[in-house]
Structure 1
């Protein structure tokens, strides 16, 4: 039986140096970076979503960053289709695909297959959307905590898109998202993946997150959000729902003062990092490294590839 083609996956919570590790690997071999972060796909928020900067992107090819309009929706299914396309493109060039990001569901969907959730009837979808509009996503999250506590722990109460999706799936199928993602039959993984995780204590990570967010504000995050708002003022647009974007949107709409933006951004990012840490702890076959141990990571990848081949 022929081996599945190899890919490397760099994962972990936000702000742990995954891009730097990917570049370190790329310096040792021909490789291209493919994004699997659900927020870094948005074109109008390169700074706020911490997309690789010009210098980083010049170090090796970077794919699936900053290509989506603010009003467009990204889903796990769409990501898998795009990622497979880019992985095959990179492999055809004789390069190693390195997937980098923190959206665990996207990576799991790629490696384990998309849960075969049936199409949701339009009337049920509209019913859920009407509830979100009338009651807000928090009430759906409260209900989700009762019928699917594992999945509820992975998403924010204010995440309209994911809470609505979980509600409509449960209403239409009688099965929760955790069941669909773990118990239903998925297509086998199309690749042999080396999963490398950035391991750090949340309390140790928190000051780094605060420093990074402070730097984003100093570098022009408010101006970036202002330009994005001029293009798309719909606060329900998918691009505005991300952390950082939503806080700055509230400021632009005079709902909160600028002085509150930084603290709210830090608080929400820390909560998100906590959910990411919890998610990845449950994943199997992850080789853990401390953030910044980039030479060790590159050596590990080289050794794995040598043994693989």
Structure 2
């Protein structure tokens, strides 16, 4: 796969990556590969803003909504799946478009993460017991003490990722961020064009508020209710932003209005973390939301096709 051409389309939540990806795929003969850690989960299409069935019908889409809610997903394991999908897309003569907002997944797929040894069950169980006894704030403080870099990018309420980072540190004696900085010797060596969609946080915030209102009205609450009929509220698939807030509302602990306010505040904070991460990534060509023409021109020039 060395030298194979791959487009990465990245950016914070709510910046319009789905529409841009569809335009690029249709113009360039592409297939879309999910690079969002929340959109992998089954049964939460509205809550996680997965492309709609109509959108997915416009071009091939992969790795959306195919993971059970009770299955934890690591960046390394996801990278292996994504690389296999990219290989199959290339074999079909299509252009792979890696689309999403999870910076760590992009880095893992492209080759920035070293393979991490498996965590022994006894370590995992001990940290799970500590989490139940101490709660999210204390466990996030523990993470900050052993792995400040991971603590800075992981929200305190994200149980799955807080515990994963603590497990790795306890089991290997090295921080998760240290493993992530080492690099993967089996990296595929793609020829990558990275396109980013960005908007100042102040301008993005109203878009996020409108999006959350649309999600809540469009079935997100019902999705979480159905999920809670089968799973506990702390399963990995419900740990992402929106899940805990709506679960609290459905449990009678808060009003829907308060849940949406918390959902928005946490989404805004997440968008800010995404922006911080992506600003540090090299060689990203940045565009405003809706500048499809600019993105198409960049891809066409990179492919040597002239104007798209």
Same fold (TM over 0.5): yes
Pair 1:257 & 2:255 matched: yes
Task: Spell out the pairing of 1:178-197 with structure 2 (5 A cutoff).
Answer: 178-183=177-182, 186-197=185-196
TM-score (normalizing by structure 2): 0.94
DSSP 3-state at the match of 1:7: strand
Matches within 5 A, 1:41-80: 41-80=40-79
Assess if the C-alpha contact under 8 Å between 1:21 and 1:298 holds in 2: no
TM-score (norm: length of structure 1): 0.94
Structure 1: 5+ residue stretches without partners: none
- Is the 1:114–1:187 contact (alpha carbons within 8 Å) kept by the matching residues of 2? no
State the distance in 2 between where 1:44 and 1:292 align: 29
Deviation of 1:210 (Å): 0.3
Helix, strand or coil: the match of 2:304?
helix
2:278 aligns with: 280
Contact 2:8 2:98 in 1 (8 A): yes
User: In 2 relative to 1, CA 163–67 (structure 1 residues): closer, same or farther, beyond 3 Å?
Assistant: same
Change in CA separation of 1:259 and 1:244 when aligned onto 2, cut-off 3 Å: same
Return the offset for 1:224.
2.1
Q: How does 1:116-265 map onto structure 2 within 5 Å?
A: 116-183=115-182, 186-230=185-229, 232-265=230-263
Q: What's the C-alpha RMSD, in Å, of the aligned pairs? A: 1.8
Instruction: Give the Cα–Cα distance (whole angstroms) in 1 for the partners of residues 187 and 215 of structure 2.
Output: 40
Is contact 2:14–2:208 with CA below 8 Å preserved after alignment? yes
Return closer, same or farther for 1:183/1:81 CA change in 2, 3 Å cut-off.
closer
**Cα contact 1:43–1:70 (8 A) shared by 2:** yes
Who is 1:7 aligned against?
Answer: 6
CA distance in 2, matches of 1:209, 1:186: 38
**Which consecutive unaligned segments of at least 5 residues does structure 2 have?**
none
Deviation, 1:143, is 2.2
Instruction: Indicate how the Cα distance of structure 1 residues 69 and 123 shifts in structure 2: closer, same or farther if over 3 A, else same.
Output: closer
What whole-Å deviation, never above 9, does each CA across 1:277-306 have from its counterpart, x for those lacking one?
111111111111111111110111111011
Shift of 1:7: 0.5
CA displacement at 1:171 relative to structure 2:
2.0
Which residue pairs with 2:93 in the alignment?
94
Does the 8 Å contact 1:24/1:295 carry over to 2?
Answer: no
1-structure distance, mates of 2:83, 2:182: 24
Whole-Å separation in 2 of the counterparts to 1:189 and 1:89:
14
Deviation at 1:145, TM superposition (A): 2.0
How far 1:3 moved relative to its partner? 5.5
Which residue does 2:104 correspond to in 1? 105
